[in-house]
Structures are given as C-alpha cells and as structure tokens.
C-alpha cells in the first residue's frame, strides 16, 4: 500500500495448483489488473477447488469473486471496495461491517490490518486458541479482535453533520453517552423543533437520533468492556441503557456477541471464539 515493490520468487507456472492446503489471496492496487488475467483467475479457481480452505485479505475478495468462488456466500472486504464488490458481483452477500467473515471454508477480511486478525483465526482453527493467543503475544498485538467487530468506530461509521445545530446535538451525545438524549433534549441543544431536528438529523447523518444515540452508547460499552472490569449492570446504568438486558440486546444487535463474551476475548481468555459463520 506504500508503493514498496515486493518481488515473488516464483510464478503460477511454477506452482502445483493441486497441492494447496490454504489458498490466501491478498489485495492491493493491482487487484483490478489481476482480475483481467485469465490465466491467473483460472489458476486461482483450480487451486481453490482442491484446497481445504480459501481466504482473501482486503480487496483480494474481488479476485476470488472473479474466479466464481464467492457466489452465494457472505463476504466482507475493505469498506472502500464495498460498492464495487456489490455492483460487479451481485450474487454475493456483502457485509462490510465485520473485520472478517467465515462462510464455510471461505474466509474474507477487511482492510490490511484485519488480515492479521484473520490469520490468527486461521491459526486457532487449525491449532486451538492457546497457540493463537501465543502468536498474538509474540506479535505484540494489543487487541485480538473477534471477526464480528465492526470495521468502524464512532467517527468512521457516522457521517459528519453539515450544520451547526446538528453538530451541537451530535457533540453532546459523544461527549456524554450516558446522559439523557431524548428528542426533546437534543432539540433543545440544537435550537430546533423536535420535528425539524428529527428530519435534519436523519438527512445529515443517515440515521435517526435514537439509533445514533444507541450506536454511540454501544461503542462506549465496547471500550469499557475491553479496558475495565465494570459489571454489565453498572455499565448499563452509567451509559444510559437503564438495564443490563437492554445493553445486552443492543450490544448483540450491533456487535454480534454478548458483552460478557466480548470482554472475555479482550482479557486474554480466548481468541476469536464464536465468530459469525
């Protein structure tokens, strides 16, 4: 991605397509040109047919798709390639929220660093979580992320407000997720009527106020679960969910796992367990 050339020691003509156990296709700036290489696409399809497992990192999913290996499967890729993948390969079930996805023997991951999370998942799949944990420690990976973790943090998944009134409302939510953020509260902070706030908020950010508040609170819960030992019930009250059950439902809706499972993965007791398949 930084323009540094990496020279391969062999070409596809030197490789036995029938002897591949795990086929991993990396993405990059040359992936679109690679999709036009019929010999390369054919080799990938042939190698994948006999492989035990097939994986793609980042935009490498486009090459797998061109080879017909992703039809009917749930896949992910870098968010910057999502629209292209959907448009050019409509038979795919594209989900660009998770950092990686497993669908049967096919694994796909988001941007470049998500490939490290995918690699750890492959290690765990073959050798168990203890070895995957040791590999993560050796790589000094601060977080060993579950595949269901979103590619996006709050500043990334949300569009930026275009107007000062909506910016004021958004800033108040991000500054204190656990405060009261009803429509009336947000309208008062923005200087708009409730109806006008609802309409402009949704138009500028792509989600209604209540959904935005919930997402910000879930992101705050993610950080708290990864970094501390606060009980879920206490965390729920502090972040404005009211009850632990409300937090659990919202967390599972956005993250795909229970808060307790999420915390376990980030506290060194398990690696990548229960990834959505």
Q: Domains plus CATH for the chain? A: 12-112 (3.40.50.880), 154-255 (1.10.10.60)
With tokens 């090459």, the residue in question is 63
Q: Which residue has the higher pLDDT, 198 or 148?
A: 198
pLDDT of residue 275: 35
Q: Is the pLDDT of residue 276 over 50?
A: no
CA distance 211 to 191: 20
What value does the mean pLDDT of the chain take?
86
Residue 96 designated active-site: no
Q: Is the pLDDT of residue 153 over 60?
A: no
Average pLDDT value for residue range 188-215: 94
Which pLDDT band holds residue 79 (cuts at 50, 70, 90)? confident
pLDDT of residue 55: 97
Which pLDDT band holds residue 272 (cuts at 50, 70, 90)? very low
Proportion of the chain above pLDDT 70, given as a percent? 87
CA distance 186 to 167: 11
Residue-wise pLDDT tens digits, 18-59: 889 999 999 988 999 999 999 999 999 999 999 999 999 999
Which pLDDT band holds residue 270 (cuts at 50, 70, 90)? very low
Closest to 235 (Cα-Cα) out of 227, 249, 225, 226: 225
DSSP codes joined into one string, 22-56: EEEEE-STTHHHHHT-HHHHHHHHHHHHH-SEEEE
pLDDT of residue 262: 85
Q: Which residue has the higher pLDDT, 154 or 262?
A: 262
Active-site entry in 47, 57, 58, 220 = 58
Among 33-37, 127-131, 216-220, the range scoring the smallest mean pLDDT is: 127-131
Among 64-73, 112-121, 144-153, the range scoring the smallest mean pLDDT is: 144-153
Which pLDDT band holds residue 244 (cuts at 50, 70, 90)? very high
Burial of 37: CB neighbours in 10 Å, binned 0-12, 13-18, 19+? middle
Q: Is the pLDDT of residue 1 over 60?
A: no
Proportion of the chain above pLDDT 90, given as a percent? 57
Q: Is the pTM of this model over 0.95?
A: no
Looking only at the bridges linking them, the beta strands covering 53-57 and 106-109 are parallel
């Amino acid at each position: 991605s930084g323009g540094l050339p990496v020279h391969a020691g062999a070409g596809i003509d030197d490789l036995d397509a029938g002897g591949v156990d795990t086929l991993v296709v990396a993405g990059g700036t040359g992936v679109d040109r690679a999709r036009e290489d019929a010999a390369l696409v054919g080799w990938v399809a042939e190698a994948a047919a006999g492989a035990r497992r097939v994986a793609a990192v980042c935009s490498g999913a486009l090459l797998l798709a061109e080879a017909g290996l992703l039809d009917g499967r749930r896949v992910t890729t870098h968010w910057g390639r999502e629209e292209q993948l959907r448009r050019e390969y409509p038979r795919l079930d594209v989900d660009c929220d998770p950092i990686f996805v497993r669908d049967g023997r096919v694994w796909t991951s988001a941007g470049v660093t998500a490939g490290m999370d995918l690699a750890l998942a492959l290690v765990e799949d073959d050798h168990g979580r203890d070895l995957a944990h040791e590999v993560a420690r050796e790589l000094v990976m601060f977080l060993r992320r579950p595949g269901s973790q979103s590619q996006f943090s709050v500043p990334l998944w949300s569009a930026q407000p275009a107007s000062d009134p909506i910016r004021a409302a958004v800033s108040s939510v991000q500054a204190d997720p656990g405060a009261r953020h009803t429509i009336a509260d947000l309208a008062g902070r923005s200087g708009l009527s409730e109806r006008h706030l609802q309409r402009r908020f949704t138009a500028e950010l792509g989600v209604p106020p209540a959904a935005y508040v919930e997402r910000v609170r879930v992101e705050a819960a993610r950080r708290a679960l990864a970094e501390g030992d606060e009980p879920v019930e206490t965390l729920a009250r502090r972040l404005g969910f009211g009850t632990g059950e409300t937090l659990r439902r919202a967390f599972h809706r956005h993250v795909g796992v229970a808060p307790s499972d999420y915390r376990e993965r980030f506290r060194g007791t398990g690696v990548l367990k229960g990834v959505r398949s």
